[in-house]
A and B are shown apart, each in its own frame.
Chain A
Amino acid sequence: MLGMDSIGHRVAKWPVLVSAILLLVGWLLVVRASVWSEPGPPVGVEDPGLAQLRLVQDKVQAVVKQVMPAVVAVVVGQGQGSGVVVTRDGYVLTAGHVSGKPGQEVTVIFADGKRVKGKTLGRNPLADSGMIKLEGEGPYPYAEMGDTRHVRVGDWVMAIGHPGGFRPGRTPVVRLGRVLLVDPETMVLTDCTLVGGDSGGPLFDLKGKVIGIHSRIGELLEQNIHVPIDTYRETWEALAKGVEVGLAYLGVRGDEEGEQAKILEVAPNSPAAKAGLQPNDVIVSCDGRKVSDYRSFLHILRRKQPGEEMRLEVLRNGEKVELKVKLGKRPMSQP
């Protein structure tokens, strides 16, 4: 067998012969390539569009191999969903409506059929995030968490999960799509088709990072919604401790498009109604912090707990009104 050294040696000794051989080999490669690759297009003149698809395909295939061991089916009581292990010691991300109440016994099934017991931890019913801890310390195969800030509309992504629940002999099912829309606070929308049983499964970018968790679907095939991964990172400690977050309930609907934090509707008998909030009130500050628009108000509200008090300053008919609201617990039928 010739090593690199011996080839180098020959090159030095027989430069002319070697060049001739290289030329011959080169000619063979160029001329024969089209014959070898029939009936495909000749090598080197591939259509750029097709070449780009091939690049995507290569990446998808590589990511699938890399992340598949971390994707699990989640069995909670009679229900089944999906999930993904994101730490070596066995923390599993899933959807809040899959993990349900904290402290439940669950079984997860890995792609190779291996079953491991675990317990549900905290959840956020509003964001639909949930967490599970597998028994013991592992080591478990895991996938890395990405960053919602780096997710761009148009990015290629892959949804993996167990549509219809776990089926013996079927590996977790992979679907391809692109990011159609990102709202870092609430959702990533893709055209990776999802269906019942996929809930809680991971959405991967082409680097193999988890950027979302499957949550819900719309009527159309391109309406597939994933919980943004940052939600999990921001609430990690609470979820890991088994706390339910995002339950604070005010009972208003505001103008998410406008430049002011304007209240459009107040639910009857809600904490907002009891505190005297009215439609057309414009919130200008909350607990002494200035509120620029309704979305920044939601940002504060989402991080509150039921029972907490909030001091609101609102503009009503051009006059400033101070209100004190005691937040309630979100009715579970309305996430």
Chain B
Amino acid sequence: MLRIVRGQKVIGWLTVVMLVLGLAGAPQAVRGQARPTAKPYRTDPTLREAFQKAVRQAGQSTVEVLVNGKVMALGAVVNPDGYIITKASEVKGPAAVRLPDGAQYQARAVGRDEAFDLLLLRIPAKGLKPVEWGSGDQASVGTFVIAPKPGGQIAAVGIVSVAARDVPAKGPGSYPNPNVGYLGVTLQDTEDGPTITSVLEGSPAEKAGLLSGDVIYSLAGQRVRNVEGLLEALRAYPPGARIRVVVLRDQEFVEKQVTLGQRPRNFSRAEFQNRLGGELSEKRSGFPRVLQHDAVLQPKDCGGPLVNLDGRVIGINIARAGRTESYAIPAETVQKLLPELMRGKGMDGQK
């Protein structure tokens, strides 16, 4: 039994479950009591007031993105003629945009970038106030960052935790989502497609007869071309789902039925700790370039601007990725993508 703290006066005691950090060993749960005697800075009213001043202007360029009347994400005005950037994967269906003044418009999807998970919407409005871009690439570690809500209230505050960096594709940096089906293989992209490099013992893949060296060709009838695509396709199925997997084995198609399983427990500890303190974005990895910060975003706060103390927008929030990490796409990267998105990038085959 570990006493977390003594208290001279017993007021506002909290009973907490304490977990020893670290990747090795089982989590040790220790019960104790704590009586915080200072306010966390993120909720300190005096500081919030100061942060709010920094985003007064950016708040006028921040909008809500709704699907079926429900706010799913924030967005940022990038052009006075009705162009709004937001987080693509949170907008599943016809979107509407609500401006800071409350006016609401049906939006049309104009362009989409899968890797960065950005979606460009357009609404029939003119004279909007676009964001004032700053530099995300030059924002040094320790820079205060604020995520405004429409109108200039604050969704979250924090600092830049890691300067803008390129993230290698498939690089570590993703936390496995336990709510999606689990196959139990390690994969590598080859010229043939996503190739199984090992099959974990006792995994659904082993039970279904998948072998190391198999190239996965399709999943439930959906053609997959690389590891990223395969993981994306897999995400649609919960544990227990039975799906048809076609693999290329010695240049022949082999069909297998796989019953997806639950991710084994050794994965779940990091996952568990990362979920302490809030919900995570469904898509929270695979972005080719990110600015990492420690503002505690809600998944529906993503898609909007990330602002510094000068009121400049240094990035677009793209994911709540863990207990300690949120990601933004740096301003320069977004600006570079905008012309392509305006030309309709990623919209082929859609009406």
The answer to whether A197 has its CB under 8 Å from any CB of chain B is yes
Using known A-B contacts A54-B309, A61-B141, A334-B1, determine if residue A189 contacts B273 with beta carbons closer than 8 Å.
no
The answer to whether A273 has its CB under 8 Å from any CB of chain B is no
Using known A-B contacts A189-B36, A216-B21, A222-B36, determine if residue A195 contacts B141 with beta carbons closer than 8 Å.
no
The answer to whether A214 has its CB under 8 Å from any CB of chain B is yes
Which residues of chain B are near A40, meaning CB under 8 Å?
310-311
Q: In the docked arrangement, what's the CA distance between A80 and B42, Å?
A: 29
The answer to whether A217 and B21 have CB atoms under 8 Å apart is: yes
Q: In the docked arrangement, what's the CA distance between A199 and B273, Å?
A: 13
The answer to whether A199 and B22 have CB atoms under 8 Å apart is: yes
Which residues B147-176 have CB closer than 8 A to chain A? 158-163, 165-168, 171-173, 175
The answer to whether A217 and B18 have CB atoms under 8 Å apart is: yes
The answer to whether A175 and B38 have CB atoms under 8 Å apart is: no
The answer to whether A98 and B158 have CB atoms under 8 Å apart is: no
Which residues of chain B are near A79, meaning CB under 8 Å?
22-25
Which residues of chain A are near B132, meaning CB under 8 Å?
39
Q: In the docked arrangement, what's the CA distance between A128 and B163, Å?
A: 31
Which residues of chain A are near B50, meaning CB under 8 Å?
47, 49-50, 52-53
The answer to whether B324 and A186 have CB atoms under 8 Å apart is: no
Which residues of chain A are near B325, meaning CB under 8 Å?
163, 173
The answer to whether A218 and B159 have CB atoms under 8 Å apart is: no
Extra A-B contacts (19), CB below 8 Å, given A173-B324, A257-B10 = A53-B309, A61-B143, A81-B24, A97-B21, A97-B22, A97-B24, A156-B41, A173-B294, A174-B142, A174-B161, A176-B142, A178-B40, A181-B36, A186-B2, A196-B22, A196-B269, A197-B23, A220-B277, A223-B16
Chain A: residues with CB nearer than 8 A to chain B?
39-40, 47, 49-50, 52-54, 56-57, 60-61, 63-64, 76-81, 95, 97-98, 100, 126, 128, 153-154, 156, 158, 163-165, 167-171, 173-181, 183, 186-187, 189, 191, 193-200, 214-223, 225, 253, 256-257, 295, 333-335
Chain B: residues with CB nearer than 8 A to chain A?
1-8, 10, 14, 16-25, 28, 30, 34-42, 46-47, 49-51, 53-54, 57, 132, 140-144, 158-163, 165-168, 171-173, 175, 269-270, 273-274, 276-278, 292, 294, 296, 309-311, 322-325
Q: Can you give 20 contacting A-B residue pairs, CB < 8 Å?
A: A49-B50, A79-B23, A80-B22, A95-B21, A167-B172, A173-B324, A174-B142, A175-B161, A180-B37, A183-B6, A186-B3, A187-B5, A189-B5, A193-B324, A199-B20, A200-B22, A216-B18, A216-B20, A217-B18, A256-B3
